Amino acid sequence: MSAVSLPPLPPTPEEGYRPGGRSIADIVDREHQQLLTLLDQLTGPDAAPQEGLAVLTAALSRHLSAEEQYLLPAVRAALPDAAERVDAEINADAALLATLKALSDETLTEVVERVRRHVDRVGALVAELRAVATEEELIRLGNRLEIAEEAAPTRPHPGTPATPPWNRIVEPAVGVVDKVRDVVTRRPTYLADLPEPPRD
């Protein structure tokens, strides 16, 4: 029995079933920390801008897409009083993606500020969701989020739908095109694609 009303998820096979995987709250918190670390590297003295900007763009595009597909709908369903904040976050995501689309050394400062605000606002929503949802619900949402991220676009597309069900249909299709372009151009899209930062 669910503790809160969440978006449709695959049925559980039996009573007492405990899914494997990581909680959506833990995944989002970890990704936020990774994004902040990457931003610190990109704005530091030993930054490798071009590769780093490509990875930041891909990581943020995947992250925002998956959040809009599963995290934000879950928050809206579980926390009706947070609906306005969810709407505001979707609008902020669109503005961040638009800025990301024109990302350069000159616009990096604006992206950094927008990402830091995103981390603060979404972090607060995650903490509230964690307080009302069961661990099983959070894990099942985490599994869906990870699947969505793997299929998500690696480039910003601020004009695509930002709410279910359409974003769950359009985003994977756009993601396929992005991934083909990434392969053809040998564009780095993961943190592991970046050279190790120098050690002190």
User: Token digits for 23?
Assistant: 């909680």
Q: For 45-91, what is each residue's pLDDT tens digit? A: 766 667 889 999 999 999 999 999 999 999 999 999 999 999 999 99
2 pLDDT exceeds 60? Answer: no
| pTM given for the model | 0.89
29 and 127 Cβ atoms separated by less than 8 Å: no
